[in-house]
Amino acid sequence: MCERGTGGDVNSNVLISHSTGDAQLDKAVWQWLSWDKNQKTKEQIENLLQNGKHKELRDRLCCRLTFGTAGLRSAMGAGFCYINDLTVIQSTQGIYKYLERCFSDFKQRGFVVGYDTRGQVTSNCSSKKLAKLTAAVLLAKDVPVYFFSTYVPTPFVPYAVQQLKAVAGVMITASHNRKEDNGYKVYWENGAQIKSPHDKEIIKCIEECGSEENAVIQSKGAWSGMGWISLNVSWDRSE
């Protein structure tokens, strides 16, 4: 662990003082504190580390979200198995990687993003914020994004995917689940929820992705390619 503190990084110094004694866990903690740009969720992990809550740290950091029905779903909070800024960023990076393999015209057809009204103050996490992060990852890759101008019901996203002829779309919602949860529902070009083999291949792509783009997606210029979808839009059903 000591070699991570030689650069004078505050997060690394925290780790030197509070090593868990478990190399795998220490690495996961270091990754989280280095990659997470959300001060609230970063503090949650720092507090667990400083208070010696190693079991909870393992539960939060040593496993990842997996795709269930249509996408990802978990409680909002800090950790690689929770819904938060970092896991949504990494999931979108993985989805971009997979869609680029599947669609040669991905950067012409674009991607749809919608969200509901959920939010959690203690984690500075809301569906709208997660939707914006999703869009920013794709915009940084020069993918056109169709972003709803306000919160919408879940079916609006798959409908928009079909009407706009986008390659896919994401709805940030946990549907009927408890208010502490949130989710990341993915829809294919035909408006259907993703299923095997797409789900497994997307997870592989997510696991291959690091977090080197975090600073890029938070840049002020990240919104230049946004196409807003207004609720009063008149869909053309003639085609």
* Non-local CB neighbours of 7 within 8 Å, separated by 6+ positions: none
CB 154 within 8 A of CB 209: no
CB 206 within 8 A of CB 98: no
Distance from the Cα of residue 209 to its chain's centroid:
12
CB 157 within 8 A of CB 172: no
Main-chain phi, psi angles of 131, to 5 degrees: -65, -40
> CA-to-CA distance for 54 and 122, rounded, in angstroms?
21
> CA-to-CA distance for 69 and 108, rounded, in angstroms?
28
Catalytic residues, by residue number, are 175
